[in-house]
Amino acid sequence: MENFKTKLTRVKAFVFDVDGVLTDGSVTLMPDGEQVRIMNIKDGYALQLAVKKGYKVAIISGGRSEMVRKRLNGLGITDVYLGAHTKIDAYKELMEIYGLNDEEVLYMGDDIPDYEVMKRVGVPTCPNDAAQEIKDICLYVSYQKGGKGAVRDVMEQVLKVQGRWFDEDGFVW
């Protein structure tokens, strides 16, 4: 059986859930009804770096927050699927658009709505505080919790294995 690090050498695309992965899953309810989420700046650094390095980075979320879209677009991520209650459909669309195969995709999810996609991708990963059913199908469970650097953890590993994390002149901003 092929080991985790070897599988990382083939990754060309990252796909992430939002709530519980890019956030800790908490939602602050504002008086106007808006639901506010908090994202980790270190995850943001890794996301924008991967985009600049030419990786495909996509988000598939059941949530519908336009503020989430705005934050992700600001990091250079253009493939943001919000309100995706059947995530496999958005995943299949991404695969077709970019001509990817499952082995080239790392997906990080944390709960049951991610299960179907995670069973299909080449590198299923999750935060440390993911649902047990998700942990059971992952090749890698991050030492970090959702919203606390789990995304940075897996992205940094891929970029390091592929020799693309640190440039001679330092980090790419």
- What CATH class does 10-161 carry? alpha beta
Calculate ∠ Cα 82-21-33, nearest 5°. Answer: 55
Dig out the tokens for 68 from the structure: 């989430």
Could you tell me the pTM of the whole model? 0.95
User: pLDDT band at residue 98, thresholds of 50, 70 and 90?
Assistant: very high
* Interatomic CA distance for residues 144 and 129, integer angstroms: 8
Per-residue pLDDT of 121-165, as tens digits, reads 999 999 999 999 999 999 999 999 999 999 999 999 999 999 999
What's the confidence (pLDDT) of residue 170?
53
Residues 18-34 have a mean pLDDT of: 95
Per-residue pLDDT of 31-68, as tens digits, reads 998 899 999 999 999 999 999 999 999 999 999 999 99
> What residue spans define the domains of the chain?
10-161
% of the chain with per-residue pLDDT over 70: 96
What's the confidence (pLDDT) of residue 168?
60
**Strands lying side by side in the sheet with 56-60:** 79-81, 56-60, 13-16, 105-108, 123-126, 140-141
